[in-house]
Amino acid sequence: MTQATTAPSLSTSPNAPMASVGSIPTKPTSTLDTALLVAFEHARRLTDIYGTTVIDVAIAWETVEELQVAKARRQTPAKSAFARYCEAHPDAPEARIYDL
């Protein structure tokens, strides 16, 4: 007798507690965060069910990686301490910009 296995559901309960792993958000704040959380959970479940040697598992984890890269590219870089100083003290000699 053969058992039929079904793929895990991609839906997640918004009230379910989630553990944070790397840059995986615990509480989604955008659609990208939600997609990343769902993809991570899907990849984790596929790994639990099929192990690490199935191509579908590798594809699921690659999807997680691609979403993490997309999230990293979306984030604006933090201003340096010098840039914050120049904004706070525009009259300081260090903050002067000379046009030639």
- Condensed to tens digits (0 to 9), the pLDDT of residues 34-50 reads 999 999 999 999 999 99
Residues 13-17: what's their mean pLDDT? Answer: 38
Q: Identify whether 8 is part of a domain.
A: no
For the chain, the average pLDDT equals 78
Residue pLDDT, tens place only, 81-100: 998 999 999 889 888 887 77
Q: Identify whether 88 is part of a domain.
A: yes
> Which pair of structure tokens corresponds to residue 27?
């509480």
Per-residue pLDDT at 1: 40
Q: Identify whether 12 is part of a domain.
A: no
> Which pair of structure tokens corresponds to residue 62?
């690659």
The range of the structural domain enclosing residue 41 comes to 31-95
Q: How many other C-beta atoms are found inside a 10 Å radius of the C-beta of residue 57?
A: 19
Q: Give CA–CA dist 85/96, Å, rounded.
A: 12
Q: Identify whether 63 is part of a domain.
A: yes
Q: Give CA–CA dist 10/35, Å, rounded.
A: 10
> Which pair of structure tokens corresponds to residue 77?
């870089």
Q: Is it the case that residue 13 has pLDDT exceeding 50? A: no
Q: Give CA–CA dist 74/26, Å, rounded.
A: 18
- Give the number of domains in the chain: 1
Per-residue pLDDT at 23: 61
Q: Identify whether 91 is part of a domain.
A: yes
Taking every pair of Cα atoms in the chain, the longest distance, rounded to a whole number of angstroms, is: 83
Q: Identify whether 19 is part of a domain.
A: no
Answer whether 23's CB lies under 8 Å from 29's CB.
no
Amino acid in the structure at residue 72: A
Q: Identify whether 18 is part of a domain.
A: no
